[in-house]
Amino acid sequence: MADRFIYGRCLVQRRKRQTNYSLYCSLGMRWKEARLVAVLQFQIFSSKGGVLRRNGIYAKVMLSKRKGMSAMELEFNYIDIEDVAFADKTCVEGKRLLVCQQEIIDLVLQEPKIESVKVDIALPGESTRILSVKDVIEPRVKLDKYGGYFGGVLRPVDNIGSGKTLVLRGAAVILTGPFEEFMEGIVDMSGPGAELVPFSKLRNLILWVKTVPGLDYGLNKEITKMAGRKVAVYLAEKAKEAPVSELKTFRWEPVDNDLPRVGQVLMLSTRSPNDAYLYGNDIAPIIPTIISPLAAIDGATENVSCRLNAHRHTTYQHQNNPVVFDGLERHLKEFNFAGVIVTLERISHQEKEKNSTLAANLAELLRLNGVVVTEENAGNPDADLMMVCRKMETRGIKTVLITDECAGSGGTSHGLSDTTPEADAVISCGNANTEILLPPMKKTIGDPSTIGKTNGTHADSLKPDGSLRMEFLGIPSCCSELGDGRLSCVMA
């Protein structure tokens, strides 16, 4: 075994009238050199054993001799944002993000293939409706010599999942533009629509980007997405001088102990090229692979399709992957969170079989006892979900699936288009076909004539009084299958 880790015993002393334990290292090495990685076991020793000096409860611990921040330590520097406003200079003052419109416009127009750009602001509780939403991005920047964010795209992949990341928590860049296609979303900042999405609780900078005419479909998306990334990183960079609201360090190492081993199977929808990136690579041509949980929440994966609906993951959701965050919370307590298996949802039957088999192989390689499988999209990928479930269970790996249901407007239709008897533990994220009547909003950002062309809406969705009758399908991430929402279904 590598000598990165040493095992020893520390005396655990309980302070009088307190319930927390302090660890006093009695190993003969200076405390500063050792860093507690894991508490493996509590044992009770007596002095009769001859080895130790006193009675007491001891903890068998694992310590690391690595200097400085470990490669498996990610420190989030959270700067809480409670307001966004336009100003002469982009910076953060207290908890206000001040944005200079001209700086953003100049930044985006550096790209010659962008014809025009508009900037707006939408705050929680406002009577504002945002149309043609193509992505949502959390402003973040790495605090290292490379800077930037999105490893493999704007900067090298070194330190992705480790080191320090600055996050403007509570803020987001919402990427919109002229209508391109069916899968663009509608976000309300107040009213019943706002209760369904996390974005209505964020302080949003709305970025409307129009590319020059004549670009092909793929290039158009690439340019639009890049503008969104650059603005999100720019905002975070301008916040570097601001005081940090909270520091939160995630430590994660692959460990061996008696706890069950658990992972996430992150299924990503990729029916066409350039739907999602992994470290800047299009995932369409790859086969399933493994990334560390810390990398998963540090921009290793992102949505680059500029296509959203009720059950596609926005980049914001990739950055805030709830399965990873909740898994890390329980890591070394209930289980070892061993890794994230990234796999693909492809169209051909052959590829579905291949990817599900390879994902199950990787789970075996990681010696997993259980997986949480998150789907993206619905309909066709239900087949991939069921194949992954079946192949895992056949190998003795317990599965829990997170998916939404397309149960029809009355809730009486079968919610999934494929099933398997092994799928006996499923978390439901709500019925994406639910119809909702959204009240009129005082302000609409975007072109109202696009309503009727986008998912979840029909030609008569927009009423003369400005109210909007639509399906959940067109509200981005309201049925998010990563499980970051509390919406679910029951049999009624």
Partner 1 sequence: MEKRLKIVHYVNQFFGQLGGEEKIGMAPLLQKGPVALGTQMNSILGNRGEVVATVIAGDNYMAESPDKSALEVVELLRKVEFDLFLAGPAFFAGRYGLACGAVCAAVNEHLEKPVATAMFPENPGVDAYKLKVLIAPTGRSASSMREDLPKLVALGLEAAQGKDIPDCEYIIQGRRANVFKEHRGSYRAFDLLYKKMHGLSFETELPMPVFDKSDPAPALKDLSKAEIVLLSTGGVVPMGNPDRMATGNSTKWCKVSIDGLRDFAKGSWEAIHAGYDVTIANVDPDRVVPLDVAVETVEEGKIGRLHPYYLYTVGNLTQVDRSKRFGEEIAAYMKENHIDAAIMTST
Contact 389, 401 (CB under 8 A): yes
Count of residues in contact with partner 1, rule CB under 8 A: 72
Reply yes or no on whether 306 is catalytic.
yes
In whole angstroms, what is the distance from residue 255 CA to residue 229 CA?
A: 35
Least distance from C-beta 23 to partner 1, angstroms?
27
Specify the residue for token string 């296509």: 307
Does the protein bind partner 1 through residue 461 (CB under 8 A)? no
Task: Indicate the residue among 355 and 428 with the shorter CB distance to partner 1.
Answer: 428
Does the protein bind partner 1 through residue 345 (CB under 8 A)? no
Task: Indicate the residue among 99 and 406 with the shorter CB distance to partner 1.
Answer: 406
Does the protein bind partner 1 through residue 351 (CB under 8 A)? no
Least distance from C-beta 83 to partner 1, angstroms?
26
Task: Indicate the residue among 143 and 255 with the shorter CB distance to partner 1.
Answer: 255
Among 165, 224, 355, 403, binds partner 1 (CB under 8 A): 403
Q: Which helix (H) or strand (E) holds 465?
A: none
In whole angstroms, what is the distance from residue 277 CA to residue 401 CA?
A: 23
Among 362, 407, 451, 468, binds partner 1 (CB under 8 A): 407
Contact 241, 62 (CB under 8 A): no
Q: Which residues pair with 350 in a beta bridge?
A: none
Q: Map the footprint of partner 1 across residues 270-289, applying CB under 8 A.
A: 271-272
Among 178, 260, 280, 466, binds partner 1 (CB under 8 A): 260
Least distance from C-beta 458 to partner 1, angstroms?
7
Angle (CA) 417 270 347, round 5°: 50
In whole angstroms, what is the distance from residue 109 CA to residue 385 CA?
A: 41
Contact 355, 385 (CB under 8 A): no
Closest CA to 190 of 120, 123, 133, 119: 123
Among 57-65, 128-136, 278-286, 405-413, which window interacts with partner 1 (CB under 8 A)? Answer: 405-413
Per DSSP, 331 falls in state B
Q: Map the footprint of partner 1 across residues 94-113, applying CB under 8 A.
A: none
Least distance from C-beta 469 to partner 1, angstroms?
14
List of E strands, 46-161: 56-64, 73-80, 83-86, 91-93, 96-99, 114-122, 128-137, 140-142
Least distance from C-beta 316 to partner 1, angstroms?
15
Does the protein bind partner 1 through residue 116 (CB under 8 A)? no
The residue from 10, 306, 429, 478 that is catalytic is 306
Q: Map the footprint of partner 1 across residues 154-213, applying CB under 8 A.
A: 181-183
Q: Map the footprint of partner 1 across residues 358-397, applying CB under 8 A.
A: 369-372, 378-380
Question: Quick count: other Cβ atoms within 10 Å of Cβ 249?
Answer: 10
Specify the residue for token string 């992954």: 388
Q: Map the footprint of partner 1 across residues 420-459, applying CB under 8 A.
A: 420-421, 423-431, 433-434, 455, 458-459
Among 262, 265, 308, 462, binds partner 1 (CB under 8 A): 262
Among 123-131, 280-288, 325-333, 338-346, which window interacts with partner 1 (CB under 8 A)? Answer: 325-333
**CB contact set of 197 (below 8 Å; sequence gap of 6+):** 187, 475, 476, 477, 478
Task: Indicate the residue among 333 and 442 with the shorter CB distance to partner 1.
Answer: 333
User: What are the contacts of 459-468 at 24+ separation with CB within 8 A?
Assistant: 465/440, 466/440, 466/441, 467/437, 467/438, 467/439, 467/440, 468/129, 468/186, 468/437, 468/438, 468/440
Least distance from C-beta 122 to partner 1, angstroms?
23
Among 48-56, 222-230, 241-249, 401-409, which window interacts with partner 1 (CB under 8 A)? Answer: 401-409
Among 131, 416, 438, 445, binds partner 1 (CB under 8 A): 416
Among 8, 156, 178, 322, binds partner 1 (CB under 8 A): 322
In whole angstroms, what is the distance from residue 306 CA to residue 224 CA?
A: 8
**Distance set, CA 93 to CA 104, 124, 187, 207, 312 (Å):** 18, 19, 27, 22, 34
Task: Indicate the residue among 330 and 463 with the shorter CB distance to partner 1.
Answer: 330
Least distance from C-beta 411 to partner 1, angstroms?
4
Task: Indicate the residue among 24 and 182 with the shorter CB distance to partner 1.
Answer: 182
Kindly state the tokens that stand for 439: 């009240």
Task: Indicate the residue among 79 and 487 with the shorter CB distance to partner 1.
Answer: 487
Kindly state the tokens that stand for 150: 């999105």
**Distance set, CA 452 to CA 95, 191, 370, 468 (Å):** 38, 21, 43, 10
Does the protein bind partner 1 through residue 471 (CB under 8 A)? yes
Least distance from C-beta 462 to partner 1, angstroms?
16
Least distance from C-beta 345 to partner 1, angstroms?
13
Task: List the catalytic residues.
Answer: 306
